[in-house]
Chains A and B, each alone.
Chain A
Amino acid sequence: MIRVALPQHLQTLARVGAEVEVDVAGAVTQRAVLDALESRYPVLRGTIRDQATFKRRAFVRFYACEEDLSHDPPDTPLPEAVVHGSEPFLIIGALAGG
């Protein structure tokens, strides 16, 4: 199971807590995790990445293991600690305005 931490507004929208778990078959990448997340919580479609282009929304960031993975290509494997569930994949609303 992959642990995914969500920002507060997406927790409210999906009616879940701070962290959810998703099952990813095959290589664990940003794209695979987001596919699994959106499949389980369809209401999140379009809130993290564009529904047509799958491009990350400008003020959303992806962190894990104290690294900013936001600019990594979406098919880059995620860190082993995320794959094994010892660390969450963090979806963050960027600091931008009030």
Chain B
Amino acid sequence: MSSVRVLVGTRKGGFVLTSDGKRERWNVSGPHFGGWEIYHMKGSPADPNRIYASQSSGWFGQVIQRSSDGGATWQPVGNQFTYDGVPGTHQWYDGTPHPWEFKRVWHLEPSLTEPDVVYAGVEDAALFRSADGGQSWQEMPGLRGHGTGSKWSPGAGGLCLHTILLDPTNAQRMFIAISAAGAFRTDDGGQSWTPINKGLHSQYIPDPNAEVGHCVHRIGMHRSRPNVLFMQKHWDVLRSDNGGDLWTEVSGNLPTDFGFVLDVHAHEPETIYVIPIKSDSEHYPPEGKLRVYRSRTGGNEWEPLGTGLPQENCYVNILRDAMSVDALDPCGVYFGTTGGQVYGSANAGDSWNAIVRDLPPVLSVEVQTLP
């Protein structure tokens, strides 16, 4: 029988949640790396027992951990992230030039085919690649160097490269997203990059339709249709049917189009999930009711999913890397909150249960579906 492994990164350590295919009873392992911020953990699609973890601390900096046994044991690997050449400057919060400074790894994206190849999205925003299982890291300088880097500026959470999508049909193509710069695409394996932000409209920047400067919170795709992208922006949910060349708003009847997470059903490419969050600055669910919204039409028409979720006095947030889906049938959907709950649905969102409560604030959730 298939099983599921949920990798949870929190402010104070990592946790590994496991269940069989029924997804009713869960084993909780952790905290791993207790006391450290685990921004992200993700397993290799090519070798599910190979897992990478980003471990960081305001005191002791960045560490990358690697597991070869599904998270039972870990080995620290390379943690030197050096920008290529003279790093230059990006814009600071006040609009002045500010030197690029490495702070932490937000997101680790293992190759779809090679367990030793892994990409790292970092703050200040840049993309790094390792081809030796995380022992050494090289910046892919074409991204910062393509021409708009000096105009990027940090969002409230920092200038972070937080999303990396690999095209399963084209090894040369990948998409990344940066707060607050926007989304970018490469079609030549990372040598050159193009901003893909046409159609985005952001009132909070001087030119609402600028080429860069948009605070993209998350992008997602279904692996069967990598030319179709979905986006949760600071405000607005959008889709693109041409690999990001043009975006169209699909916020539709959402109670608020602000939010952080977004994911796509494992088997239904037009079924997408978001969690609307009240903003500006409140950053908790509207009306104190925690509800996932699902669209079965690729956007515009949304239904609230709250069965099993708190429907009063709930004021948590769900951060941008804290939702994931499994590949079982029915599709499982998972998300973690800043209140330390990890909720799961074994029926594509129709109903929910708390897999675990009272963890430290959850930063990321990734799911592995195991044979």
Contacts and interface: CB of A to CB of B under 8 A. Distances in A.
A32 B190 CA distance: 40
A60 B60 contact: yes
Interface residues of A, number: 19
A23 to B, nearest CB: 23
Given A9-B35, A9-B36, A51 B60 contact: no
B3 interface: no
Contacts of A46: 61-63, 79-80
Interface in B57-87: 57-63, 76, 79-80, 82
Q: What size tier do the contact residues of chain B reach?
A: 10 to 19
Nearest to B79: A46
A45 B79 CA distance: 8
Contacts of B63: 13, 43, 46-47
Interface string B24-64: 00000000000110000000000000000000011111110
A57 B59 contact: yes
A96 B59 contact: yes
A9 B58 CA distance: 12
A59 B59 contact: yes
A9 B35 CA distance: 8
A72 B61 CA distance: 22
Q: Is the interface of B mostly helix, strand, loop or mixed?
A: loop
Contacts of A13: 60, 63, 76
A93 B60 contact: yes
Interface hub of A45, A46, A52 (most chain B Cβ within 10 A): A46
A57 B35 contact: no
Contact of A47 (B35, B60, B82): B60
A81 interface: no
Most buried by A among B36, B62, B76, B82: B76
B275 to A, nearest CB: 27
A93 B61 CA distance: 12
Nearest to A42: B76
Nearest to A94: B59
Contact of B59 (A9, A43, A51): A9
Contacts of B59: 7, 9, 57, 59-60, 93-94, 96
A93 to B, nearest CB: 4
A48 B63 CA distance: 12
Contacts of B57: 9
A59 B82 contact: no
Contact of A10 (B58, B60, B62, B80): B60
A52 B82 contact: yes
A43 B76 contact: yes
A9 B57 CA distance: 10
A73 interface: no
Contacts of A94: 59
A9 B60 contact: yes
Interface in A12-34: 13
Interface in A46-98: 46-48, 51-52, 57, 59-60, 93-94, 96-97
A51 B80 contact: yes
A45 B63 CA distance: 9
A11 B172 CA distance: 42
A51 B57 CA distance: 16
B82 A57 contact: no
Contacts of B79: 45-47, 51
Nearest to A8: B35
Given A9-B35, A52-B82, A47 B58 contact: no
Contacts of A51: 79-80, 82
Interface of A: 7-10, 13, 43, 45-48, 51-52, 57, 59-60, 93-94, 96-97
17 contacts: A8-B35, A9-B36, A9-B60, A13-B60, A13-B76, A43-B63, A46-B61, A46-B63, A46-B80, A47-B61, A47-B79, A51-B80, A57-B59, A57-B60, A59-B58, A60-B60, A93-B59
Interface of B: 35-36, 57-63, 76, 79-80, 82
Given A46-B63, A48-B60, A96-B58, 6 more contacts: A9-B36, A43-B76, A46-B80, A47-B60, A47-B61, A57-B61
Closest 6 CB pairs of A and B: A47-B60, A59-B59, A93-B59, A43-B76, A46-B79, A51-B80
